Amino acid sequence: MILLAPTLVELAPAGLADAVRARFGSELRRVGAFTQICQLGAGACLDAAVSAGRLGVLLGTVRGAVSATRAALGPLRRGEPSMPFTFIATQTHLSGALLAQRSHEVGRAACIYLEAQDWPWLLRLGESWLGECERVAVGCVEEAADGKPHRSQWCLLVRQAAAGILCRPGGAGEAATTDDWIARVAAGAGELRGGQESWRFTSHRGA
């Protein structure tokens, strides 16, 4: 399995609307902050990777759409009606449909909630998804919290042939979390571990 275009998009909450407008021409307000952050990262990754074919969108997150969820809980607690678009924004799996609307043939899409140290499960699942999709966009996305910016880390997995980073399970590995794994992969770190397994990453010139 080859990993292409490891991409990290970080931005301050105040800059999200401008970044989304600059990228997509409008704010995508109906889908909320979380999906907008996803779209920025996935878009940058797919732009950077030369690829084609049926796409899987496999998104991992620890906390999910926290800001929209808090925004939706407030009116409920006050006994006020919930705004439909606030409810929509609590849904974390919308990136697949939005990418499909942007001319990608999306075969499978899901949001996976996991603990930060379990990020390798995304690679494990992505490898399996390659049985159904020619390419799988894998993302780790978190809204800003505790002084950290919005963070949208993505890579594109393909079966073989392309030049990129060869991913193989196994090895001793250095521990990594969703906070830093893609940056380490992009920097060419050899082995990373998380949860119950490890992955080795080596440069691959292509067939």
Partner 1 sequence: MRAAYVRATALASALGTDLPKAVARLLAGSAAAPRSLIGRPYHAIPLEEGDWWRRARSIAQTVAAELQRDAGLPAARWAGIPCVVGSSSFSIGAAEADEAALEPPVAFCRALAQCFGAGGPVLGVSTACTSGLSALHAALDLLEQGPFDDVLVLGVELSNRLSVAGFAGLELLSPALARPCDRRRDGMVLGEALGAILVSARPAAWRVAGLAAGVDASSVFGPEPGGGAVAAIMRAAIERAGWRPPEVDLIKLQAAGSPLADLAEARAVRSLFAAPPRLTSLKGAIGHTLGASGTAELALLLGALAHGAVPPTAGYEMPDPELGLAPCGGDGSDARRVLFNLSGFGGSVMALALERAG
Say if CB 3 and CB 188 are below 8 A apart: no
* Ordered alpha helix ranges (H), 109-196: 120-129, 181-186
- Which residue from 48, 87, 145, 191 is in contact with partner 1, where contact means CB under 8 A? 87
- Tell me if 36 contacts partner 1 by CB under 8 A: no
Q: Which residue has the tokens 């990020």?
A: 119
Query: What's the alpha-carbon Rg for the chain, to the nearest Å?
Result: 17
Q: In the complex, what is the shortest distance from the CB of residue 34 to partner 1, in angstroms, rounded to a whole number? A: 11
* Rounded CA separation 92/59 (Å): 9
- Tell me if 148 contacts partner 1 by CB under 8 A: no
DSSP code at position 91:
-
Among the residue ranges 6-14, 43-51, 98-106, 155-163, the one whose residues contact partner 1 (CB under 8 A): 98-106
List binders of partner 1 among 161-190 (CB under 8 A). none
Q: In the complex, what is the shortest distance from the CB of residue 119 to partner 1, in angstroms, rounded to a whole number? A: 11
| Cβ nearer to partner 1, comparing 11 with 72 | 72
CA atoms within a 13 Å half-sphere pointing along the CA-CB vector of 104: 27
| Cβ nearer to partner 1, comparing 87 with 186 | 87
| Three-state SS at 168 | strand
Q: In the complex, what is the shortest distance from the CB of residue 92 to partner 1, in angstroms, rounded to a whole number? A: 6
Q: In the complex, what is the shortest distance from the CB of residue 30 to partner 1, in angstroms, rounded to a whole number? A: 8
Q: In the complex, what is the shortest distance from the CB of residue 15 to partner 1, in angstroms, rounded to a whole number? A: 25
- Tell me if 109 contacts partner 1 by CB under 8 A: yes
Q: How far is CA 119 from the centre of its chain?
A: 11
Distances (CA, A) of 39 to 96, 116, 122, 137, 201: 9, 21, 18, 11, 26
* Rounded CA separation 152/196 (Å): 24
- Tell me if 19 contacts partner 1 by CB under 8 A: no
Contact set with partner 1 (CB under 8 A)? 31, 57, 62-64, 66, 69-70, 72-73, 76-77, 81-84, 86-88, 90-94, 96-97, 100-101, 106-115, 118, 121, 124-125, 127-129, 131-132, 195-196
